[in-house]
Amino acid sequence: MNNKKIGIFVGSLRRGSFSRSIAKAAVSLSPAELEFRFINIGDLPLYNQDFDDDGQLPKSYELFRNEVAELDGFLFVTPEYNRSIPAVLKNALDVASRPYGHNVWSGKPGSIISVSPGGLGAFGANHHLRQPMGFLNILLLQQPEIYISKVASLLNEQGELVDESTRTHLKKFMDAFSEWVRVISESH
């Protein structure tokens, strides 16, 4: 399989984001066939359909939609906000789903890693994200699932993932995602 371009979408803009640290660990543990790039979702104005209806798109929309269209797959790494996904991530999903009929997420493989300093591993965010992904026709890796809880205790001061059992679990997850990307790309 040729290397596949995978976009990473982190559902946190926070400087010291645990989710971003986990995303970096996922990249380092992933098979070489996947080539990752972090996609900036923090500069996208809140979606307003007038932009599309009037043909007056913010430049960041055009760049983002083109970027998503060029990817071979998506890795979402997200915290949970109030038992759901952070607005910045939902906004990014919405922006690249429009204008109607031009959903650039469709038909490509995706996977979700949810992250929390608490004990529930952001289960609510993980499962809420599955709802729009279904409608957007992102082909989601169903198993294994991964919910990273108590994340602060798994990282060192530099934000590196040092917990061995989580590293093993995350590596298995990334192996499965790589295999999923291969299966989808061979079926197209």
Q: Which residues bind ligand FMN (CB under 6 A)?
A: 12, 14, 17-19, 79-83, 116-118, 120, 122
- Cα dihedral across residues 11, 27, 178, 182: positive or negative: positive
How far apart CA 54 and CA 52 sit, in angstroms, is 5
Q: Rounded to the nearest whole angstrom, what is the least distance from the CB of residue 137 to ligand FMN in the complex? A: 27
Do 13 and 42 contact (CB within 8 A), yes or no?
yes
Q: Rounded to the nearest whole angstrom, what is the least distance from the CB of residue 146 to ligand FMN in the complex? A: 15
Do 78 and 122 contact (CB within 8 A), yes or no?
yes
Do 73 and 181 contact (CB within 8 A), yes or no?
yes
How big is the CA angle at 64 (ends 91 and 187), to the nearest 5 degrees? 95
Distances (CA, A) of 58 to 8, 48, 53, 64, 152: 22, 10, 13, 10, 37
Distance spanning both ends of the chain, measured CA to CA: 13
